[in-house]
């Protein structure tokens, strides 16, 4: 090992550095935000290391960040030094962390710049895990001196001027942590001013969980006040936004902010967030599910998964309770009576706030449902005991919701007195089920039908059989009994084929479709559709047939009952062809097409493109 080793940056990092070194941006002070964020992460890692291991370098050192702007000679370039007492780095870790590991984030950052030339990199650099390199916006040279928490590790220094190479060499550093020595560019010397540095810390890093000291007098520049312990009435929206960004590095505003405090039945102070997107960014600060659990304002578990059920695992934030002992072990946390009560309180408040969001801001809730509806449906499948908690949050489109989402409770409120069940139709899309022949009798009776068009709906349908004493019924149920219609409405259906002619058509359906169907019979409910497919009453797991098709697990088209509308014009035309020209090829082609179209509407056709040649053949015959 030589005293000094040189390395080349990866290609993407070179490109990133070129942008930052040779360009000026409106908000250069974000470099300090990024370096403080990195220092905070290093100290959090140190904090958790020391929960189980006290055999480290400087075990009693305060976890803090110190920023200095040392005085220099008149002709010397001005400098800034940023120090932390975090976990530190070895020589190899310096090479990896500062020379190569950021290449994927650099690639994404460069792609973002390429998509929109108007984007200021200082606005988005933190989203891609390349925040450290923002220092080269203001630095002629950066020297990172670090010593690992491991007692036998030696200190090392990483040096770069933002060109294509960096150097790593041995260094003198007795204490644990990392120091970043920044030699400022001539036009960036304003940052070597303690007042300026304090203002930047106040603006970007006020809620960092560790103290940030600026200057020799070690005046703490950040409030470090636990935002969750303040009264919600005294917190501004901007403070919530800053805290959320610093905690998650998610630069999109959360869908909901939940801030509450309670002393009964358990002491709790909580600040929770529902993110706007279910999937975190590739370089998000918090990739694992779980809430930060504090006791007496001391972090004891960074990713606690006991406070909320898995189906609410997308919620992020902080829970602080003085009822929890500071020396509580992980195993005790899981079985502790206080924790169970705390979990009940936190879950109840989250559910309450989600219901409030749905009531007060339905458009915003629709966006939440789009992102997290599947998480809730997965919860119903994996945690059936939580059904009463989860189902009020469900939303569906329906035949009477005018393109808006509706809840099960809203559906029940609209039910006429004669309706005793909740009806739903399964399909692949809102458009396809809106034209489903199954809706004919419901439209005639002005009964509402829920549209179940999500891929997970077939999975949860076996568990969703009842809600508030109302049974849920699939509209393709052959034994479905609907309220009687008025005699005048029934009279409209009397314009039907004579029985003999209709029986001939039924016979052709039977011989054409053969064993693909279990029965062909007259429909008692169809109005505007020529046929429909219904499930035999003894059919098992019919909703799972769609699941098998989605998963392509040896899928076979299920055998259904074909119901034919005796009054439909198309069936009448077909009857005349059967009677006058029984060998006309259009008869079988039409029956095949009606059957395949019904399969598509049901979401059961294995490959709808197979219909194209037949459709073309029918068109040729129709235009001949």
Beta bridge partners of 66: 83, 213
Helices 569-580 and 585-602 sit at what angle, rounded to 10 degrees?
A: 150
Of the pLDDT bands very low, low, confident and very high (cuts 50, 70, 90), residue 479 is confident
Q: How far apart are CA 228 and CA 315, in angstroms?
A: 15
Please choose, from the candidates 9, 7, 3, 13, the residue with its C-alpha nearest in 3D space to the C-alpha of residue 167: 7
Q: What is the arithmetic mean of pLDDT over 236-251?
A: 88
Q: Quick one: pLDDT at residue 128?
A: 43
Query: For strand 449-452 and strand 470-474, is the pairing parallel, antiparallel, or unpaired?
Result: unpaired
Region of residue 402 (phi > 0: left; psi between -120 and 50: alpha; otherwise: beta):
left
Question: How would you write 89-137 as a 3-class SS string?
Answer: CCHHHHHHHHHHCCHHHHHHHHHHHHHCCCCCHHHHHHHHCCHHHHHHH
Arithmetic mean of pLDDT over the chain: 86
Distances, alpha carbon 546 to alpha carbons 67, 359, 603, in Å:
61, 33, 7
Q: What is the arithmetic mean of pLDDT over 594-610?
A: 89
Residues of the chain with CATH 3.30.565.10: 4-220
Of the pLDDT bands very low, low, confident and very high (cuts 50, 70, 90), residue 120 is low
Q: Quick one: pLDDT at residue 546?
A: 63
Length of the chain measured in residues: 624
Residues contacting 407, CB < 8 A, separation 6+: 358, 392, 394, 395
Of the pLDDT bands very low, low, confident and very high (cuts 50, 70, 90), residue 545 is low
Of the pLDDT bands very low, low, confident and very high (cuts 50, 70, 90), residue 22 is low
Judged on CB neighbours under 10 Å (0-12, 13-18, 19+), 74 is: exposed
Lowest mean pLDDT among 27-36, 88-97, 234-243: 27-36
Q: Quick one: pLDDT at residue 316?
A: 96
Q: Quick one: pLDDT at residue 542?
A: 63
Q: Give me the residue label for tokens 């053949």.
A: 617
Q: What is the arithmetic mean of pLDDT over 467-487?
A: 82
- Return the number of other C-beta atoms located less than 10 Å from residue 518's C-beta: 16
Q: How far apart are CA 380 and CA 388, in angstroms?
A: 10
Residue 11, helix vs strand vs coil: helix
Q: Quick one: pLDDT at residue 348?
A: 95
pLDDT digits (tens, 9 = 90+) for 553-579: 667 888 999 999 999 999 999 999 999
382 has a pLDDT exceeding 50: yes
Q: Indicate if the alpha-carbon torsion angle 538, 544, 549, 553 is positive or negative.
A: negative
- Return the number of other C-beta atoms located less than 10 Å from residue 186's C-beta: 8
Q: Is 568 within 8 Å of 511 (Cβ atoms)?
A: no
Q: Quick one: pLDDT at residue 428?
A: 83
DSSP 142: E
- CATH number for the region 4-220 comes to 3.30.565.10
125 has a pLDDT exceeding 70: no
Task: Report which of residues 482 and 354 the model is more confident about.
Answer: 354
Q: What is the arithmetic mean of pLDDT over 457-464?
A: 86
pLDDT digits (tens, 9 = 90+) for 528-541: 899 999 988 766 66
Query: For strand 65-68 and strand 79-84, is the pairing parallel, antiparallel, or unpaired?
Result: antiparallel
Task: Report which of residues 487 and 43 the model is more confident about.
Answer: 43
Of the pLDDT bands very low, low, confident and very high (cuts 50, 70, 90), residue 335 is low
**Beta sheet of 421-426, edge-to-edge order:** 397-398, 449-452, 421-426, 470-474, 466-467
Q: Is 137 within 8 Å of 34 (Cβ atoms)?
A: no
Helices 194-204 and 30-52 sit at what angle, rounded to 10 degrees?
A: 70
The tokens for 287 are 């990739």
Q: Indicate if the alpha-carbon torsion angle 579, 580, 584, 587 is positive or negative.
A: negative
pLDDT digits (tens, 9 = 90+) for 267-309: 999 999 999 998 876 667 777 889 988 877 767 788 899 999 9
Q: What percent of the chain stands above pLDDT 70? A: 87
- CATH number for the region 423-624 comes to 1.20.120.790
Distances, alpha carbon 580 to alpha carbons 8, 504, 507, 575, in Å:
85, 12, 15, 9
Q: How far apart are CA 253 and CA 245, in angstroms?
A: 8
Residues of the chain with CATH 3.30.230.80: 227-371
Q: How far apart are CA 232 and CA 257, in angstroms?
A: 11
Locate the DSSP E strands across 461-564. 466-467, 470-474, 517-522, 531-534, 560-564
453 has a pLDDT exceeding 80: yes
Q: Quick one: pLDDT at residue 1?
A: 42
Please choose, from the candidates 85, 36, 83, 38, the residue with its C-alpha nearest in 3D space to the C-alpha of residue 63: 85
Task: Report which of residues 186 and 602 the model is more confident about.
Answer: 186
2 has a pLDDT exceeding 80: no
> Taking the mean position of all CA atoms in its chain, how far away is CA 567?
48
> Taking the mean position of all CA atoms in its chain, how far away is CA 63?
33
Across 104-118, 185-199, 211-225, 421-435, the highest mean pLDDT is recorded for 185-199
127 has a pLDDT exceeding 70: no
Q: Is 277 within 8 Å of 252 (Cβ atoms)?
A: yes
Task: Report which of residues 456 and 411 the model is more confident about.
Answer: 411
At the top level of CATH, the class of 227-371 is alpha beta
Q: How far apart are CA 497 and CA 489, in angstroms?
A: 18
Distances, alpha carbon 453 to alpha carbons 15, 380, 424, in Å:
45, 17, 10
Q: How far apart are CA 426 and CA 542, in angstroms?
A: 11
Q: How far apart are CA 184 and CA 190, in angstroms?
A: 9
Q: Quick one: pLDDT at residue 601?
A: 84
Q: Quick one: pLDDT at residue 240?
A: 94
């Amino acid at each position: 090992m030589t005293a000094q080793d040189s390395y080349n940056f990866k290609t993407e990092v070179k490109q990133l550095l070129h942008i930052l070194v040779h360009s000026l941006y409106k908000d250069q002070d974000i470099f300090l935000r990024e370096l403080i964020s990195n220092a905070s992460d290093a100290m959090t890692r140190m904090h958790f290391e020391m929960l189980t291991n006290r055999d480290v370098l400087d075990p009693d050192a305060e976890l803090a960040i110190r920023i200095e702007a040392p005085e220099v000679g008149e002709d010397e370039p001005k400098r800034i030094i940023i120090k932390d007492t975090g976990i530190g780095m070895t020589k190899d870790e310096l090479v990896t962390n500062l020379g190569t590991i950021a290449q994927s984030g650099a690639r994404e950052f460069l792609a973002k710049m390429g998509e929109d030339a108007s984007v200021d990199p200082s606005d988005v650099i933190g989203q891609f895990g390349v925040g450290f390199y923002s220092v080269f916006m203001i630095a002629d040279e950066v020297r990172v001196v670090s010593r690992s928490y491991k007692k036998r590790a030696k200190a090392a220094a990483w040096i770069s001027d933002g060109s294509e190479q960096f150097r790593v060499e041995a260094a003198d550093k007795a204490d644990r942590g990392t120091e970043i020595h920044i030699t400022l560019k001539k036009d960036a010397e304003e940052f070597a001013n303690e007042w300026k540095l304090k203002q930047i810390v106040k603006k970007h890093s006020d809620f960092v969980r560790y103290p940030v000291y600026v200057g020799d007098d070690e005046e703490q520049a950040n409030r470090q006040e636990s935002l969750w312990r303040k009264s919600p009435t005294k917190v501004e929206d901007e403070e919530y936004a800053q805290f959320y960004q610093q905690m998650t590095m998610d630069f999109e505003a959360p869908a909901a902010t939940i801030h509450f405090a309670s002393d009964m039945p358990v002491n709790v102070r909580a600040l929770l967030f529902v993110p706007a997107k279910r999937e975190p960014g590739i370089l998000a600060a918090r990739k694992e599910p779980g809430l930060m659990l504090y006791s007496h304002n001391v972090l004891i578990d960074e990713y606690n998964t006991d406070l909320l059920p898995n189906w609410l695992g997308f919620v992020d934030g902080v829970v602080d309770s003085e009822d929890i002992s500071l020396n509580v072990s992980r195993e005790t946390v899981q079985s502790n009576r206080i924790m169970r009560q705390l979990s009940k309180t936190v879950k109840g408040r989250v559910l309450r706030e989600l219901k409030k969001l749905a009531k007060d801001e339905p458009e915003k809730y629709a966006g939440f449902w789009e992102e997290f509806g599947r998480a809730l449906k997965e919860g119903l499948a994996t945690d059936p005991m939580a059904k009463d908690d989860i189902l009020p949050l469900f939303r569906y489109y329906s035949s009477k919701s005018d393109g808006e989402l509706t809840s099960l409770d809203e559906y029940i409120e609209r039910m006429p007195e004669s309706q005793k069940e909740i009806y739903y139709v399964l399909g692949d899309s809102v458009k396809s089920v809106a034209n489903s022949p199954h809706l004919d009798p419901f439209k005639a009776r002005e009964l509402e039908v829920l549209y179940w068009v999500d891929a997970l709906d077939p999975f949860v349908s076996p568990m969703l059989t009842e809600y508030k004493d109302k049974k849920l019924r699939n509209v393709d149920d052959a034994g479905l009994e609907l309220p009687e219609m008025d005699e005048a409405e029934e009279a409209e259906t009397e314009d039907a084929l004579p029985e003999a002619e209709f029986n001939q058509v039924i016979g052709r359906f039977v011989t054409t479709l053969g064993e693909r169907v279990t029965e062909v019979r007259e429909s008692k409910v169809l109005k505007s559709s020529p046929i429909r497919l219904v499930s035999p009453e003894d059919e098992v797991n019919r909703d799972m047939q769609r699941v098998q098709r989605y998963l392509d697990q040896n899928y076979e088209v299920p055998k259904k009952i074909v119901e034919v509308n005796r009054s439909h014009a198309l069936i009448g035309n077909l009857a005349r062809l059967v009677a006058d020209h029984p060998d006309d090829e259009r008869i079988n082609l039409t029956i095949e097409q009606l059957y395949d179209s019904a399969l598509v509407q049901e979401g059961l056709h294995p490959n709808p493109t197979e219909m194209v040649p037949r459709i073309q053949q029918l068109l040729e015959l129709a235009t001949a």
